[in-house]
Structure 1
Amino acid sequence: MTRPNLALTAALCAGLLWPLTSPATAQEPPPPRPEELQDSDPVPAAEAEGDAPAETAAQEEPAPLTKGLAGPFLAARMATVLNDYRAAARYFSQAVASDPNDLYLQDGALVAQISAGDVERATELAGQIAAQGGGTELSELVRRIDLARHGDWTGLVENLEESGVEPGGENGNLLDGMMRAWALLGAGNASVALESFEEMANARDVAPMVHYHLALARAMVGDYEGAHKLLSDRRIGDNLLGVIARVQILVQLERRDEALALLNDVQGLETEPELVDLREKLQTGEPIAFDLVQTPADGIAQLLLTFASALAANPDPEPLSLIHARLAVRLAPELGAARLTVAQLLQSRNQFDLAEQEFEALRRMGEMRPLAELSRIEALSQAERPDEAESAALTLTAAYPELPQAWIALGDLLRQQQKFSQAVPAYDKALSLLADAQPQEKWFAYYARGIALERAGQFKRAEKDLLAAIEIQPEEPSLLNYLGYSWIDRNKNLDRGLELIRKAVELSPDDGYILDSLAWAYYRLGRYEEAIDPMEKAVASMSSDPVVNDHLGDIYWKVGRQREAEVQWRRALSFEPTESGEVDPERIRAKLDRGLDTVLKEEEASGETAELPDPKAEANAEPSNGD
């Protein structure tokens, strides 16, 4: 049975690249209240999602639903729940216009405006909040970023110190403390700034992060030896920007050979444009400056990005992760890693139009990253935007014609759209590029091409690919199921085919699609009694699937349980199957009207045979053994 999804190449991409962030896929909670933003602890997941009792929330701060605010406020809240940041910003702005002194509404507007990318407007609002004599942690953060953007380092230091920043104290705020250290550097107090970084590094849990920024600060003031010593610790700067920093610093120390060796040891170097450019300059002897951090604003941008990455990596992602990433872009528009983080966070929240703006900016900057593009292609496909996904895949293959994963992604998109014959050449190209690769890197491509070939009516070639994939990955349930069912469907290798499907069930006993295949294989072989148990289990695991309910009805009919068969057929119809799907609703109605036996005889007499379900095609399945 077919599972409709996009088969991308997680297994093949493993270890190829290492993105700076891995945003979890989750809806962003409603805007936090001002008191939540002022608390240095993360917002509890239940409270952030609005699961706190309504009575308690009302006692803490009544919802501003008076004086004409109800409509815009409720619309803003709904838009926030749906992650529609543009709409949320519009409605919160309307609410703020009605009550310009309400900090809760102002903070909600700030969250929405920054999330939507309108940081300019958020900066104006933060200034208004300060002029009113108020302020929240978020509004103050926005003001500080604006001071850094304009290079007002003395003003930034004063702002932070007026807030009682204690970078090394018991109540120290790490973000503010490190921002103050960068601001001190900008104000010309280099020795005090470096001492401040070192003081914060005494906290063992955050020492690697602080040491990374200390290394950047030392390099910026010309202390390359000190910076290199700090970055030699592999726990520090273990990301793309950290590698760039180490290479640039080694060059300043006239250790170009070490810098080249460092780059050559990076897995997936060829797919990182910045690293490729650095390697070419090293090989040709071109001058390389330390320009990763040219001003304290660049350092603060990386600081914000560090916090955004940490917040996004939580099981329950903080709503502030996107805000920190957006503010990092505000300070350093050319920082590709920050734009990529913004794009990934927006993509994970189904804000594809906003994400596309960031991906387009990355392309203009020449920083198209294959792993990010593959993730983007998958997200577009899952959002049922196949034209955009296909266009992105074609762009990726054009930019990286030697990258097999790009061709597999293109093949997957074409196959998902049932363009099976067109998908085959894409997989052919991928497998030619993988000719010298390890077997584990090839099984998925063989499997995917085998599916495309089988659906295109080229079963002899498909069989060879599926067998090749099984030889490499003999414990992959969906693969075993696909070939086993294909054989039984063709009345070929019946015993071995059934053996493969049974093994698939053993490996994945709760997979309703594979259980359906086993039951339908028994049905195909006329072993109706044996088909009952796996099909009932399939229905139990996928109770609202019209296909399995229809199948169970057919099986019940064949064992003489006509009344139960009719119940299952009616149940299948209740899920509104369409003629373009795997279940023909008119055929189900014919079975209800005249019985399955009569329908089968009519089909046989007319020379028509009802199509059997396709084998399950979950070609993006992760290997069961973790390989």
Structure 2
Amino acid sequence: MIAPAQMQAQGLAGAYLSGSSASYRSDYKAARHYFTLALQKDPDNSSLVQNAMLAALGMGELDAASELARRLDDPNHVNQLRSLILLADALRMEDFERAAVVLADAKEGLTPILSDLIAGWIELGRGKMGAAIAAFDAMDTPETLRLFGQYHKSLALAAVGDFEEADRLLTGDERGSLRLSRGSLLAHTQIMAELGRKDEALELLDSVLRGGQDIEIEALRAAIANDSSHYNYITTARQGAAEVFRMLAGVLAGPDNQQSNLLYVRIAQALRPDNGETTLLVADILRALEQNELAIETYATVPIDSAHYLDAEFGRADTLVQLGKGDAAVEVLRSLTRSHGDNPRVHMTLGDILRVAGKYSASRAAYDQAVKMIKEPARNHWFLFYALGVCNERLDNWPRAEMNFNRALELEPNQPDVLNYLGYSLVEKGLDLERAQQLIEDALKARPNSGVITDSLGWVRYRLGKFEAAVEPMEMAVELLPDDPVVNDHLGDVYWKVGHKRRAEFQWRRALSFEPEAKDESRILLKLELGLDEVLDREAKKEVQTGAQ
């Protein structure tokens, strides 16, 4: 019989190990659950508190994280995560006196860009504008630190209504512009509108859009155009602090920093929960950490009246596809066609998801709807016509597919994907092989290390009877795409034609090992049994018989 104390120890160990495993996987929901169980058995264990605190913040639960942080009260030990959480809690409560104390105690443990910028916003929150400006100006070296300091100084000036000086800073000087991000663009154009420079603001926004779509920027443009715009980018010290944490997550973006990025952006979200751009960044980082279910939940929190709602729904649908839930993703997009059906991006995205799923007829219908809505296609719409061409080619409507590909090339003349797909399709259909070779060669010039395009070049030379010239590009294509069944199959055919029959059989067997499509598999097996010449002869005879009928 196991003693109660032993049972408790085993329960503690099990919860700790499960929590540690979940934390290693960045599974914050499971980690929070198991470390909470462990703390019930050993509430004074500082290591458990630290882990539970990390999991809570990873989940976006600043209240729970703050409560845990207050348990770690060791004046002789500076805990960076604890300091961040207590600082965030004070900023969220707009208790700037407490925030100043926490920052002073923790400053050595925080990155200078974070502590210096937050110091400026704390001074603004305390009503000390002069001290705030001095804090931002003290960030003078290196140059990167100076740029961020001056950018936040401009935001602080705009927050108190000094738009002239904010505009001067954002415009920049001989050392360059302070337009560091999309956010600085939004802030600066709002400031221009406040200063009566409406036309200049509209021109700047138009230069960014350039035929593209950005709902938030389009809404701002409309507001400025009809004189209903008012500055609201950063209006309080709390919002300014949120911008610091959100900005840091962007600056530190990279595969090795995702966990710290998530903690920064979770704090930004707690300080400014209604900021849709921050919510999208949280979801994107969760996806990078392979926490897709949590990312889906996060996307779903963006309200329908937000300028970021469509991007959130697109992200949710894409994540569902990533999880293998294609039907659920299609339903998300179908719902958007009912609520936001006047936006061509909705139909284009629906078409993309259906096309990837191989539902070419339904995908074509969605793309056709988008084309009808775009009266004057811009350069960036090349992909729409390319994708439409792919659907028509798969549906055996070659005349329309070729028209779509040519339209895509009118919009983006040297686009390698379009050049290659059009060229390869002509090769497969035995049409205008000389043009096909030129298209593929042009595609390869634009993207010389593409295995797909290199394969196309070898294959068009093969179809033109230039067997010796086909060997080098086909061998290179196999080096670039060693596990591709089609590329290995093609190399086998080329080898056969130049008399290397054993090499050909080896490549065909390699192609079979990579699970080709059923029709390709049966043809490869037939080539191994009869040889390529006999297979081609049978296919030619069958084609003649079919034509005679």
Equivalent residue, structure 1, for 2:450: 511
Alignment of 1:552-591 (within 5 A): 552-557=491-496, 561-577=500-516, 579=518, 583-584=520-521, 586-591=522-527
Equivalent residue, structure 1, for 2:58: 115
Deviation at 1:528, TM superposition (A): 4.8
What is the root-mean-square deviation in Å for CA atoms of aligned residues?
4.1
Equivalent residue, structure 1, for 2:73: 130
Describe the shift of the 1:463–1:232 C-alpha distance in structure 2 as closer, same or farther (beyond 3 A): closer
Deviation at 1:542, TM superposition (A): 1.9
| Residue 493 (structure 2) pairs with residue 551 (structure 1) | no
Q: Counterpart of 1:129 in 2: which secondary structure? A: coil
* Equivalent AA in structure 2 for residue 516 of structure 1: D
Equivalent residue, structure 2, for 1:55: none
TM-score (norm 1): 0.71
**Is the contact made by 2:158 and 2:235 (CA closer than 8 Å) also made in structure 1?**
no
* Equivalent AA in structure 1 for residue 430 of structure 2: N
Equivalent residue, structure 2, for 1:417: 357
Equivalent residue, structure 1, for 2:178: 236
Equivalent residue, structure 2, for 1:341: 281
Q: How much identity, in percent, do the aligned residues show?
A: 34
Specify which structure has the bigger relative contact order, considering alpha-carbon pairs within 8 angstroms and separated by 6 or more residues. Answer: 1
* Equivalent AA in structure 1 for residue 149 of structure 2: V
Equivalent residue, structure 1, for 2:5: none
Equivalent residue, structure 1, for 2:6: none
Q: Deviations over 1:96-135 (max 9, x none)?
A: 6666666555444433332233333322221222379755
Pick the aligned partner of 2:431 from 492, 500, 515.
Answer: 492
**Rounded Cα–Cα distance in structure 2 between residues aligned with 1:132 and 1:298:** 30
> Which deviates the most, 339-348 or 599-608?
599-608
Q: Counterpart of 1:319 in 2: which secondary structure? A: helix
Deviation at 1:304, TM superposition (A): 1.3
Equivalent residue, structure 2, for 1:148: 91
TM-score (norm 2): 0.80
Q: Deviations over 1:181-205 (max 9, x none)?
A: 4334334444434433343457643
Pick the aligned partner of 1:196 from 106, 127, 135.
Answer: 135
Alignment of 1:148-547 (within 5 A): 148-163=91-106, 173-200=112-139, 204-233=143-172, 235-236=177-178, 238-246=180-188, 255=195, 257-259=196-198, 261-263=200-202, 265-266=204-205, 267-268=208-209, 271-278=213-220, 290-312=231-253, 316-317=256-257, 319-368=259-308, 380-381=320-321, 384-394=324-334, 404-438=344-378, 440-470=379-409, 473-505=412-444, 507-524=446-463, 528-547=467-486
Q: Counterpart of 1:350 in 2: which secondary structure? A: coil
Task: Tell me how many residue pairs correspond in the alignment.
Answer: 531
**Is the contact made by 1:271 and 1:369 (CA closer than 8 Å) also made in structure 2?**
no
**Is the contact made by 1:434 and 1:442 (CA closer than 8 Å) also made in structure 2?**
no
**Is the contact made by 1:347 and 1:376 (CA closer than 8 Å) also made in structure 2?**
no
Q: Deviations over 1:221-248 (max 9, x none)?
A: 4545544444443833654544554465
**Rounded Cα–Cα distance in structure 2 between residues aligned with 1:280 and 1:493:** 49
* Equivalent AA in structure 2 for residue 410 of structure 1: L
**Rounded Cα–Cα distance in structure 2 between residues aligned with 1:514 and 1:248:** 46
Describe the shift of the 1:113–1:537 C-alpha distance in structure 2 as closer, same or farther (beyond 3 A): same
**Rounded Cα–Cα distance in structure 2 between residues aligned with 1:557 and 1:316:** 47
Q: Counterpart of 1:361 in 2: which secondary structure? A: coil
Deviation at 1:483, TM superposition (A): 2.3
* Equivalent AA in structure 2 for residue 361 of structure 1: T
**Is the contact made by 1:273 and 1:369 (CA closer than 8 Å) also made in structure 2?**
no
Which structure's residues are more often helix, by fraction? 2
Describe the shift of the 1:97–1:283 C-alpha distance in structure 2 as closer, same or farther (beyond 3 A): same
**Rounded Cα–Cα distance in structure 2 between residues aligned with 1:552 and 1:304:** 53
Describe the shift of the 1:472–1:258 C-alpha distance in structure 2 as closer, same or farther (beyond 3 A): closer
**Rounded Cα–Cα distance in structure 2 between residues aligned with 1:70 and 1:569:** 54
